[in-house]
């Protein structure tokens, strides 16, 4: 009798361990794909800064009734689509730069309703069960939108894929709170203990087989036909959740439906920050002196040309060391230093330190295609650091420059 019990216990132990090993292997695989994808996305960001930038510049020179205008406009449109794609890849590799604020998740979800209805179609009902008085979380508003929209679109596709007869087509969006215990972790690999909120999206769509379920977070994994899906939706969601120290689980029954559950840590700060509506973008120039430091030639040329066009006096160099040399040899009258973060010989952060010693009170604007530990910690911007995400549009860079220069 005792022997039997012992054997049982050992057996269970091994299966648990095997499961854990499998999950660890999946996590490691996702990590390495993330690194690869992040690297590619970073390089593409630089290339796109130049392509879109020059296209924008050309558009400003061409009259809108000329045929050339249409062509360049098409280049720009495709270029912008490429930027969206790169943003998704950066999202997956957790290299999206985020500005998390303390938010009320229920409010964020409610505000999305109109857009969701438009995306999903009137024939599918969305039902909400939002926990009243839910604890605030720290999150980037745009990332929350990305998550909810991606999950609801997946649900829509799964519902439309199924031939519905009696049952109503339905998506349920739910929020709740949970205190994650050590015990819970045993069945939820990748979670952390403590207070969390739960965001879950369920549907009564086609569901998935377990072979598919195992791969859904992989970038470019899709079962949808060409042009319908890129297979980046859930990879982005996964990356975002991990970047924010959360966890994500998928429950699905083939032929019945799917639930995606996200656990997101509750914010320690309580004060909810109201989101500001975006203003109309316009191009504003200036006549100040800028030292522009960037190792990517295409990005540098385009940026410098743009800034000169807008009236700025611009000096350009390709790394931090050259910039220091230039300042030491007498260029002290600079209003703004714009520098890339990662460069050969001397990066942006080291340059900032030396330049500020040589020119006290110098204003600095960092530009980067993705996060870097010097400036941002796992994608979260340090307070008070001026930063612009590449690729930047002419509007974005000019607006940012005015903002930094006019700051005290």
Ligand X SMILES: Nc1ncnc2c1ncn2[C@@H]1O[C@H](COP(=O)(O)OP(=O)(O)OP(=O)(O)O)[C@@H](O)[C@H]1O
Q: Which stretch binds ligand X (CB under 6 A): 110-118, 198-206, 280-288, 394-402?
A: 198-206
Specify the residue, 96 or 150, whose C-beta has the smaller distance to ligand X. Answer: 150
Q: How many residues bind Mg ion (CB under 5 A)?
A: 2
Query: In a 10 Å sphere around its CB, with 0-12 CB exposed, 13-18 middle and 19+ buried, how is residue 394 labelled?
Result: buried
Binding residue for ligand X, selected from 56, 104, 140, 203, defined by CB under 6 A: 203
CB-closest chain residue to ligand X: 233
Closest to Mg ion by CB, 237 or 334 = 237
Burial class (CB in 10 A: 0-12, 13-18, 19+), 129: exposed
Q: How far is the CB of 210 from ligand X (least distance, A)?
A: 12
Q: Is 200 in the site for ligand X (CB under 6 A)?
A: no
Q: Of these, 233, 246, 265, 348, which contacts Mg ion (CB under 5 A)?
A: 233
Q: In terms of Cα–Cα distance, which of 367, 319, 322 is closest to 344?
A: 319
* Beta strand pairing call for 257-265 and 289-293: unpaired
Applying CB under 6 A, which of residues 49, 146, 154, 200 lies at the interface with ligand X?
A: 154
Tell me if 155 contacts ligand X by CB under 6 A. yes
Total Cβ atoms within 10 A of residue 247: 21
| Residue 207 in the binding site for Mg ion (CB under 5 A) | no
The nearer residue to ligand X, 153 or 385, going by C-beta atoms, is 153
Q: Is 29 in the site for ligand X (CB under 6 A)?
A: no
Residue 212 contacts ligand X per CB under 6 A: yes
* By CB under 5 A, residue 368 contacts Mg ion: no
Stretch that binds ligand X, among 9-17, 215-223, 346-354, 362-370 (CB under 6 A): 215-223
User: How buried is residue 172: exposed, middle or buried, by Cβ count under 10 Å (0-12/13-18/19+)?
Assistant: middle
Which residue in the set 230, 266, 289, 309 belongs to the binding site for ligand X (CB under 6 A)? 230
Site for ligand X in 112-151 (CB under 6 A): 150
Contact partners, residue 60, CB within 8 Å, separation at least 6? 394
To ligand X, the closest distance from the beta carbon of 128 in angstroms equals: 17
With CB under 6 A as the rule, give the number of residues binding ligand X. 23
> Of residues 125-164, which lie at the interface with Mg ion (CB under 5 A)?
154
Residue 152 vs 299, nearer CB to Mg ion: 152
Q: Cα 367 to the chain's mean position, in Å?
A: 16
- Binding region for ligand X (CB under 6 A): 150, 154-155, 158, 203, 205-208, 212, 216, 221-224, 229-235, 258
Chain positions contacting Mg ion, by CB under 5 A:
154, 233
């Amino acid at each position: 009798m005792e022997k039997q019990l012992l054997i049982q216990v050992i057996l269970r132990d091994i299966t648990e361990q095997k499961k854990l090993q499998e999950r660890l292997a999946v996590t490691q695989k996702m990590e390495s794909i993330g690194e690869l994808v992040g690297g590619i996305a970073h390089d593409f960001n630089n290339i796109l800064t130049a392509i879109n930038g020059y296209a924008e510049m050309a558009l400003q020179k061409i009259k809108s009734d000329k045929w050339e205008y249409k062509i360049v406009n098409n280049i720009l449109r495709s270029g912008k689509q490429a930027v969206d794609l790169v943003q998704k890849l950066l999202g997956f590799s957790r290299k999206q730069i985020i500005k998390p604020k303390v938010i009320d998740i229920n409010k964020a979800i409610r505000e999305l309703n109109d857009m969701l209805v438009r995306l999903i179609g009137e024939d599918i009902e969305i039902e909400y069960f939002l926990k009243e008085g839910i604890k605030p979380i720290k999150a980037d508003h745009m990332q929350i939108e990305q998550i909810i929209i991606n999950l609801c679109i997946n649900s829509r596709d799964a519902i439309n894929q199924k031939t519905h007869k009696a049952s109503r087509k339905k998506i349920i969006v739910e929020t709740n709170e949970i205190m994650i215990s050590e015990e819970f972790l045993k069945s939820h690999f990748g979670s952390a203990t403590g207070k969390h909120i739960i965001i879950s999206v369920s549907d009564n769509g086609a569901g998935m087989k377990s072979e598919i379920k195992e791969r859904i977070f992989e970038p470019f994994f899709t079962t949808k036909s060409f042009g319908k899906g890129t297979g980046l939706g859930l990879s982005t969601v996964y990356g975002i959740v991990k970047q924010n120290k959360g966890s994500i689980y998928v429950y699905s029954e083939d032929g019945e439906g799917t639930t995606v559950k996200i656990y997101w840590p509750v914010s320690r700060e309580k004060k909810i920050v109201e989101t500001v509506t975006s203003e109309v973008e316009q191009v504003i120039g200036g006549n100040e002196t800028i030292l522009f430091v960037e190792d990517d030639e295409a990005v540098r040329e385009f940026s410098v040309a743009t800034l000169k066009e807008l009236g700025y006096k611009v000096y350009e160099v390709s790394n931090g060391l050259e910039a220091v040399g230039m300042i030491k040899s007498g260029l002290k009258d600079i209003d703004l230093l714009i520098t890339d973060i990662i460069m050969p010989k001397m990066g942006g952060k080291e340059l900032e330190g030396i330049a500020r010693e040589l020119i006290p009170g110098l204003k600095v604007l960092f530009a980067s295609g993705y996060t870097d530990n010097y400036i941002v910690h796992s994608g979260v911007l340090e307070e008070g650091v001026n930063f612009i995400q590449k690729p930047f549009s002419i509007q974005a860079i000019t607006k940012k420059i005015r903002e930094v220069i006019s700051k005290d």
